[in-house]
Amino acid sequence: MESIPKLNNLTTEERNEASLNIDTLSTTEIVALITREDQQVIDAVQREVPRIAAAADLLVAVFKKGGKIFYMGAGTSGRLGVLDAAELLPTFGVGEDRVKALIAGGQRAMFVPVEKAEDDSRAGLTDFLAQNPTAADALVGITASGRTPYVLAPMQRAKEMGLATIGITCNGDSEIAKIADVTIAPVVGPEVVAGSTRMKAGTAQKIVLNTLSTTLMIKLGKVYQNLMVDMIPTNAKLVQRAERIVQEVTGAPAELVCEVLEKAGFNIKAAIVMLKAGCDLQSAQDLLAQAEGVVGRALQLVSDGGRG
């Protein structure tokens, strides 16, 4: 068994004074207590806004240099990383070739607990190095305790290799904070059921990941106004959403929107520029290339007479 830092003094492992007698409460009282405790999560995350912003700027720089982003975690933390990374493709058109999540125990651990996997620092290092990371990349370590060996070992190696490193934890003064360039630590307090970090800690990590990745995508121009213009319409619902997005932005009639979207291969950005600029697909693609994929900037080029 590897030497693992003790759980002593971890906020996430303490007993919650408010729930000491939760096993004697009525169903309604239990639910009310849990939801009351959950209200602390938003405040804890809000206190981390400067660190989340700093981490987002770090990831934007990595992405613009062509680097990849890796998430690593175990248990609930690992599953949240997998969930966040998987949802980037349909939402923003970013696949695992740019953002990839690794979970202790592998894909099976998404559905079946592989609890000992989080203690295996060698497996963490092996999984990380198998991705052929370079100094241009970033590693985001997700660990509620801030001391999971599966995460800490690759974080340390990533630091030595020159990668950007970001830690997400729910404990202050954590082991991961000693390694990461930026540490995001929403301290949500003891769980209603002591040590059950799938609860408040899990909720906090989910909010942080949502905020971090969405901010990154917005800064990369994958959102125009507040619309998902790099969304991939892979089913009937998303096709309708794509049509509605283009119609809302351009004001064009539905029939024309459908026609232009088809010509653009359902590239929402290109369809918007085609309709707003009155140009063909190639010209729209050229404008977007000049604008680094940012719709607002491409349309400004048209206004400035930069088309052609």
Q: How far is 275 from 36, CA to CA, in rounded Å?
A: 49
Amino acid at 308: G
87: annotated active-site residue: yes
Count of C-beta atoms within a 10 Å radius of residue 306: 13
Contact by Cβ (8 Å): 212, 52 = yes
CA distance 116 to 259: 54
Look at strands 99-103 and 138-142 and give their pairing.
unpaired
Cα separation of the two ends of the chain: 65
Residue 31 to residue 44: CA distance in whole angstroms: 21
Strands 227-228 and 223-224: antiparallel
Residue 118: active-site member: yes
Nearest partner of 167 among 175, 288, 110, judged by Cα? 175
* Active-site position among 118, 175, 191, 243: 118
Q: Burial code of 245-260, b = ≥16 C-beta within 10 A, e = fewer? A: bbbebbebeeeebbeb
Is the torsion defined by CA of 93, 96, 101, 105 positive or negative? Answer: positive
Active-site hit among 13, 17, 29, 87: 87
Q: How many CB atoms lie within 10 A of CB 44?
A: 20
Which sequence positions are flagged as catalytic?
87, 118
